[in-house]
Amino acid sequence: MNISMKSFRAATCFIAVGIFGIAAILLSLAGDTHAYSCKLNLPPPNQVTMMVDAYEYYACSELPNLTPPGYLNATLSNVDPGYSVANGGYGAYCADLEGYVLDNPLFGNVTYQVQFLSSIDNPSFEGRPWNKINYILKNYPTPPNSWLDIQAAIWTLIYDCNPSDPLLQLFDCPEGNRTAPCYFPFGGTICTDSGCPQNQPPIVNITNVQNIVVNANAYGGNFIPGNGDFFAIIIDPLSCTGASGSYISYCDAPDHLPFQLLFTTTTCDASYTITASAGANGSIDPIGAVSADHGSSNIFTVTPDANYHAEMSGTCGGNLVGDTYTTNPIIADCTVIANFAINAHTLTYYAGLNGSISGPTPQSVNHGASGTAVTAVADPGYHFVNWSDSSTVNPRTDTNVTANITVTATFAINQYTLTYYAGPNGSISGPTPQSVNHGASGTAVSAVAAPGYYFVQWSDSSTVNPRTDTNVTGNITVTATFAISPVTPVRISPNLRYHSGIQVAYDDCSDGDTIQCQAVALSGEVLFNTLNKSVTLKGGYNSDFTSNTGYTTINGRMIISNGTVTVENIIIK
């Protein structure tokens, strides 16, 4: 493909890039009714050539003397059929200020190897604000706008210049008198050196340029061309051949490539293709190849089978709300993939006071599957009662799970039964049976012997009577044993050993014991002579030693030589 271009001198908005630069031409093609996408069918790099025809080697920014609708004229030739660009002549705009064009008559024909790029697919190429440039092309056609106003607005956006800057100068001023970064060929000059034209009348409407730039900055940042709109295609030089004389070096070094050309087109494909698919256990509608306009968001209905849910993926991106999946704005061919996974449910087991849970909690269980067994473990002295769903199964395994389950184990303190029985010839005084909490104490009971009998012991060998069981940690069942009282008038309490006289009882008793005597007369001398033994001598008991309302008579002497004797109801004769 060949591009022939005439370039003429003009002052421009300047940015210092050395003697080489990047220029761009926006070529306007006839509009059509396709919706724009980024799917341009562009010629491949390095297989298309570009011919440039210029009077001298000038920058793209030099003032032209051309016929609208473009800042420059360009002609495409030798373009193979089937591409989105075609042979023909175009009015164009520059996107750079100093893209040098080698002079054909003086230095020979120069052929550039180029590549084509879409400004929509490459919105940040070379740092140019392509979205805003496309906004201008859409909203400010020529006519009625001056193509010079459009060119000024494009440069102002690219170089962030102020078109009302009082330092606007002609490009023809000597470089030492140029004021960077903004000087255009659009207003009167303040250059005073020789060779500079004076008082040149403005050739652009600065107010219109300002309005275009303000609106492009406000509304063009995310602009996407719509149906029938123009947008920029970039022609980027990759190398060149054919320069002669002192300028042949411009083709030797890639840094000296002259410019990029831009032109607008409406020959993009009408739509993209969304390929929608669904895995097992669900469906998506529509499915297969779905046509989508550029920038559109498409809606799919995703229906999982019972007890499954959708998991969306694919290159389109999007958002699933309920059963509706809405894609992100479509800017390329992409995919929507609906996979389906079985629902999972959570089993959570808590322990109430005085217990704990043994086993995994929480658990994630697939729909219809079974959980892992857990056990409600009571603290010492407590027992498991039930779960909060009234189940008493422990350990517990939830099967065929169809929903989340959350339950709490309840525990209660252990209660024990104290049961007291009386053997023959006696009875129990006090409550029996008794219900007592773990660690608590029971109520006192007494084993009461029948007349002529005495209490011997309980069946657990305890001789404590009355009896109070304390710090109870289990059930207690005991029976009181009774024996017939011996035919002896004296006994030792509390061990209840019976003797025939006081002396033998004293000799058998221990310190602190009580010698109990029936209300009878006893003969003989009694000697209390044990060092540090203190005893109590009580008389007047009835036959079963249950009361001592009478007196015991000792017919003899009572001698106390050691120890202490406390005497009650005793008569000594």
Of 64, 59, 69, nearest to 24 (Cα)?
A: 59
Of 297, 313, 342, the last residue of a domain is 342
Question: Which range (301-310, 437-446, 501-510) has the least confidence?
Answer: 501-510
Tell me the per-residue pLDDT of 231-257, one tens digit each, with 9 for 90 and over: 777 777 777 776 555 555 555 544 444
Is the bond into 68 cis (omega within 30 degrees of 0)?
no
pLDDT over threshold 80, residue 33: no
Q: State whether 323 and 287 are in the same domain.
A: yes
Which of 39-43, 474-478, 508-512 tops mean pLDDT? 474-478
Q: State whether 421 and 555 are in the same domain.
A: no
pLDDT attached to residue 569: 93
pLDDT attached to residue 487: 72
Ramachandran class of 359: left when φ > 0, alpha when ψ lies in -120 to 50, beta otherwise: left
pLDDT over threshold 50, residue 513: yes
Of 52, 59, 22, nearest to 257 (Cα)?
A: 22
pLDDT attached to residue 80: 85
86/519: higher pLDDT: 519
Q: How far apart are CA 47 and CA 345, in angstroms?
A: 61
- Report which DSSP code applies to 186: S
Cα dist from 417 to 428, 435, 441, 512, whole Å: 16, 5, 11, 35
Of 454, 484, 514, the last residue of a domain is 484
Confidence (pTM)? 0.45
Question: Which range (113-127, 383-397, 419-433, 441-455) has the least confidence?
Answer: 113-127
pLDDT attached to residue 252: 52
- Cα 265 to chain centroid distance, Å, stands at 46
pLDDT attached to residue 331: 78
Q: State whether 79 and 198 are in the same domain.
A: yes
- Measured CA angle at 426 (ends 420, 428), to 5 deg: 35
Per-residue pLDDT band at 289 (split at 50, 70, 90): very high
Residue 446 · residue 468 · CB < 8 Å:
no
Q: State whether 290 and 240 are in the same domain.
A: no
What percent of the chain has pLDDT above 90?
Answer: 40
For 401-422, the DSSP string reads: --S-EEEEEEEEE-EEEEEEEE
pLDDT over threshold 80, residue 508: yes
pLDDT over threshold 60, residue 553: yes
59/350: higher pLDDT: 350
Q: How far apart are CA 178 and CA 75, in angstroms?
A: 33
Q: State whether 293 and 196 are in the same domain.
A: no
pLDDT attached to residue 153: 83
Per-residue pLDDT band at 500 (split at 50, 70, 90): confident
Q: State whether 235 and 125 are in the same domain.
A: yes
pLDDT attached to residue 11: 22
Overall average pLDDT of the 121-127 stretch: 80
Number of domains in the chain: 5
Q: How far apart are CA 203 and CA 148, in angstroms?
A: 8
Q: State whether 121 and 186 are in the same domain.
A: yes
Per-residue pLDDT band at 96 (split at 50, 70, 90): low
Overall average pLDDT of the 143-147 stretch: 80
- Measured CA angle at 74 (ends 35, 61), to 5 deg: 105
pLDDT attached to residue 17: 18
Q: State whether 158 and 42 are in the same domain.
A: yes
Q: State whether 47 and 80 are in the same domain.
A: yes
| Residue that has been written with the tokens 């002579």 in this structure | 529
pLDDT attached to residue 10: 24
Q: State whether 277 and 214 are in the same domain.
A: no
Work out the end-to-end distance of the chain between its first and last CA atoms, rounded to an integer number of angstroms. Answer: 158
pLDDT over threshold 70, residue 170: no
Of 280, 314, 342, the last residue of a domain is 342
Q: In DSSP terms, which residues pair with 405 in a beta bridge?
A: 347
Tell me the per-residue pLDDT of 2-27, one tens digit each, with 9 for 90 and over: 333 322 222 222 111 112 223 333 33
Burial class of residue 227, CB neighbours in 10 A (0-12, 13-18, 19+):
middle
Domain range holding 374? 345-413
pLDDT attached to residue 126: 80
Q: State whether 356 and 438 are in the same domain.
A: no
pLDDT attached to residue 549: 87
Q: State whether 239 and 111 are in the same domain.
A: yes
Q: How far apart are CA 480 and CA 427, in angstroms?
A: 8
In the Cβ-directed half-sphere of 40, how many Cα atoms lie within 13 Å? Answer: 23
**Residues 6+ away with beta carbon under 8 Å from 307:** 342, 343, 367, 368, 402
pLDDT attached to residue 497: 86
Overall average pLDDT of the 25-31 stretch: 34
